[in-house]
Structure 1
Amino acid sequence: MEERKSKRGKIGLTVFLLVDLLLIGAAVYMIAARQRDIPTGAPLGGTAASVLDSVPEETVPAATEPDVPAPLELADEIECGYAYVVNASDGLVLAEKNGEERMYPASMTKLMTLLLACESGIEPDEPFTFDQDMLDPLIERGASRVGFEAGETVTFGDLLYGSVLPSGGDATAALAIMIDGDEQTFANHMNRKAQALGMFDTHFSNASGLHAEDHYSTARDIALLLQETLKHDLCRTVLTAPVYTTSRTSQHPNGLELYSVVDQRMAGFLPQHIVFQGGKTGFTDYAGYCLASFAEQEGTTYIVVVAGGEEKETPCRDAQTLYELLCGVPEQNVGEQ
């Protein structure tokens, strides 16, 4: 009996030891498996979050925007004090000189007058009759005029071409009256449109560009204005016309033959490798000589605005230089006349 009890005791002890060994082996296996899953450098005994935080993230290349070349900062390349050059086909600014500084726009203002006139919906043959009261202030200030006389009746179309080709202040004053009733109301209209176009450094006080302290813009804003103007076929037609004859009236039986001031001034400064189209000149004693123009090359439209020139030819020469820079003329030829 005692022998059987001793034998059963030995068997139980053996089973107990085997179970302990199996439990120890399982524990060792689980520890080893866990250690394999813990990344190198992870804090032992840390929370699950601390372990996950230590897992290196997969490197993902940062998204990059397309490289946009910075505008050329103009200095000695041109003589005018202000300039802004833009590719109107894609909006890329190519060059600038004091482009966002306020300056006086002179008759480049008439681009806004033309734009609002073309947007007004007034028919080209709508008549307008001049009176002496509206002409006298222009005469007193020495404003450029088409030559319309008191009592003369012309058409809305005549006024469009008269405002641009010879830069007639009489034509712009008439357009303001036809569109909004008086020039001050029209100037408010001009300012609302300027804000809508993003011309945030521009304020107009008249339709023609006659000097006033609160009548100002920037080369950048004028370029933006010209870019918008070129979206309208009628505006483009007027801006590119070399000559136009007004309606026959009793004051002018054969009409008035109007020639483009831009064409006349640019005749000796036409750039190579690009087709000059047209634009708008400007001048006052405060603004200097100005020119907002556009040209085309293989379907691409370029806009050049230059202002603050000391001589009549200065903006024309600068425009030629800038168009040739844009069109890949060899550097040694740039500026040669």
Structure 2
Amino acid sequence: MKLSSKICRRIGTCCMAFMLLLSTLPMASCGKKGDASSSSPSSEGSSSSKSSKSSKSSKSSKNNKDEEAIPAEALPAPETAAVFPPPPFVDELRSKNIYILNLDSGKEVWAQGADERIPPASITKIMTCLLALEYVEDLDGESVALTTDINNYLYEQRIDTLGGISMGESFCIRDLLYAMMLQSANEAAMMVGKYVSTKDSRAPEGGDLEVFAEMMNEKAREIGALNTHFVNPTGLSDDNHYSTAKDMALIAQYAWEHPKYGETFQEIVSTNAYTSKPTNRNPNGITWYSIVYPQQNSQSDYYIPDLHGIKTGTLFEPDRDPNPNIHNFVTTVSRDGYTYLFSVCGAPVAGEDSNGNYGRYAKNLAFVDTKLLANWVFETFQVKTLVNVGETMTQVAVNLSWDEKKVDLIAAEKFASLVTVETNADNVQKDVVLYNAKKRMIDRKEEEKYFDAPINKGDELGYVRITTAGNLELGRVRLVAAKSIERSDGLYYMSKFKEFMGKFVFKFLLTFLIIIAVLYILLMIIRNRNKKRYRMKRRPPRPPASRKN
């Protein structure tokens, strides 16, 4: 019995040690949630590293809930914005800072030095006009006169007023906006800025141009022009007054497309000539003419059909070191149903000719470059539909359904994008990324992605990433199930049983029970042997046999 109890204790100790050993094993095989996966429409098995990155982000946006549809706002953003190659004449351009935007799609077309700081000069007045339209409720009923401080400042700085406004002469705000946007009247811009500042509680009575500059900078940050800082409403030269070609494009786009005052802004900047209302000094009013020459005379070398505004800016100060020596131009051109915004800046006002002589150029090189770029974009790009709503993009296998083995994934919306004229729906790359698709092996060689039924019509199951042949991503379109697929209860419970059979817990319990059974059998064998030995010891000895005489 002592031997039996000792053996039992050892067996129990070994059993406990084995259980502890198993409990320390990793639980990796407890069943994996389906990861997001990618595939192309033609081959569900193909994938890319970019797809896996995108699918990870989509997985996290779902908070790991496999059966929830991804909302539209959770669609992963493109990893890089598509920017097209430069024009073939890029070496001929004299403007150093260029930003071109397609207003129909909001897509950047091409940029060069667009984030470099430049003196914006008079294209600053775009922001001055924007704030006036935003703060002044009655452009015709609210007016302001030219004050002594503004007149004296411009005189002391030897700055041209350009608007022909006299001291004490009063104009409504609408008239002043035309004066500063058409003829770049500096006195008009300062009058507007000082008046608009009175709408801000920080300004003293009568207004303050420093407060207006703060308002300009706050609006720039709101728009997203983060590399811009204004100190005056005119664009007069100052080391702390700077912007970029891209920032000025964003500011112009904001004003051009604004739902409240965008039409008024467009009307002002697209006008060639405007006469003010009569004043106390000019009973017939003052007529101002646009200096945006490319929109005027069709016989001009600068002429660009369907060009509208917006503003020019020039700084040339030979006596200043360094001399800004800069032409800037922000404009829009509409043609064949498309509209582009051009911010063409940093063109030199003066330079050396072929003989090495320094002087002002005969032409405004910003106008020259804009004409080249406008012709290029209209010849090179179009907005085309690349995916139609309801278009089938791929098929994915379905599990747990007797009736359906595949589900069609269709585009949830139409997708159109600015592309080159050679690009169409047939020659762009369309890579499908699936949300939380499961994987299984077919014939131990090929991997197949699938979804478990039930699937409801309209469930969002992934997206398609659209790229050009040059691997520039154009955009993404959500993919939804084309129809509902019901789940078979028999297949569902069978899969759950198989799933449980393959889990670590089941394997652990099964192994443990087998070990216990083996140990029990061994224990019974040992116990039976000990019983036999014990009985043999307790059996009385046989009496010796009697001898016969």
Report the TM range for the smaller structure's normalisation: 0.7 to 0.9
Query: How much does 1:325 deviate?
Result: 0.7
User: Aligned equivalents of 1:143 and 1:105: distance in 2?
Assistant: 17
Decide whether aligned partners of structure 1 residues 322 and 264 sit closer, same or farther in structure 2, where only a CA change above 3 A counts. Answer: closer
Decide whether aligned partners of structure 1 residues 304 and 59 sit closer, same or farther in structure 2, where only a CA change above 3 A counts. Answer: closer
Gaps of at least 5 residues in structure 2 are 1-24, 40-46, 55-77, 198-206, 317-323, 350-362, 382-549
Aligned with 1:270 (options 303, 307, 320): 303
- TM-score normalised by L of structure 2: 0.48
Aligned with 1:307 (options 342, 345, 349): 345
User: Aligned equivalents of 1:225 and 1:320: distance in 2?
Assistant: 22
Instruction: Please give the residue correspondences for 1:99-114 in structure 2 after superposition, counting only pairs within 5 Å.
Output: 99-114=114-129
Partner residue in 2 for 1:207:
233
Matched, 1:260 2:290: yes
Larger helix percent? 1
Aligned with 2:151 (options 131, 135, 154): 135
Aligned with 1:225 (options 251, 255, 263): 251
SS at match of 1:128: strand
User: Aligned equivalents of 2:36 and 2:212: distance in 1?
Assistant: 62
User: Aligned equivalents of 1:109 and 1:287: distance in 2?
Assistant: 16
SS at match of 2:274: strand
User: Aligned equivalents of 2:296 and 2:249: distance in 1?
Assistant: 18
Decide whether aligned partners of structure 1 residues 291 and 247 sit closer, same or farther in structure 2, where only a CA change above 3 A counts. Answer: same
Aligned with 1:239 (options 269, 286, 292): 269
Deviations along 1:72-131, one digit per CA (max 9) or x if unpaired, are 346414111111111122221111110111111000000000000001133122221212
Partner residue in 2 for 1:334:
none
Deviates more, 1:199-208 or 1:239-248: 239-248
Partner residue in 2 for 1:182:
208
Matched, 1:289 2:315: no
Matched, 1:119 2:134: yes
Q: Decide whether the 8 Å contact of 1:176 with 1:186 is kept in 2.
A: yes
Query: How much does 1:51 deviate?
Result: 6.4
User: Aligned equivalents of 2:247 and 2:26: distance in 1?
Assistant: 59
**Aligned residue identity for 1:294:** T
Matched, 1:249 2:282: no
Decide whether aligned partners of structure 1 residues 215 and 68 sit closer, same or farther in structure 2, where only a CA change above 3 A counts. Answer: closer
Q: Decide whether the 8 Å contact of 2:295 with 2:306 is kept in 1.
A: no
Matched, 1:327 2:378: yes
User: Aligned equivalents of 2:209 and 2:104: distance in 1?
Assistant: 33
SS at match of 1:116: helix
The share of aligned pairs that are identical, in percent, is 28
Decide whether aligned partners of structure 1 residues 76 and 253 sit closer, same or farther in structure 2, where only a CA change above 3 A counts. Answer: same
SS at match of 2:171: strand
Deviations along 1:17-75, one digit per CA (max 9) or x if unpaired, are xxxxxxxxxxxxxxxxxxxxxxxxxxxxxx79576799xx9974254759963243464
Aligned with 2:183 (options 151, 166, 173): 166
User: Aligned equivalents of 1:198 and 1:48: distance in 2?
Assistant: 50
Gaps of at least 5 residues in structure 1 are 1-46, 331-337
User: Aligned equivalents of 1:72 and 1:200: distance in 2?
Assistant: 26
RMSD: 2.7
Larger strand percent? 2
Decide whether aligned partners of structure 1 residues 134 and 144 sit closer, same or farther in structure 2, where only a CA change above 3 A counts. Answer: closer
Q: Decide whether the 8 Å contact of 1:239 with 1:279 is kept in 2.
A: yes
Deviations along 1:238-274, one digit per CA (max 9) or x if unpaired, are 1111110012123222111111100368642233xx6
Q: Decide whether the 8 Å contact of 1:245 with 1:258 is kept in 2.
A: yes
Flag as ranges the 4+ runs of structure 1 deviating above 4 A: 47-54, 57-60, 62-68
User: Aligned equivalents of 2:311 and 2:345: distance in 1?
Assistant: 11
How many residues align? The count is 282
Partner residue in 1 for 2:520:
none
User: Aligned equivalents of 1:264 and 1:138: distance in 2?
Assistant: 29
Partner residue in 2 for 1:78:
93
Matched, 1:69 2:118: no
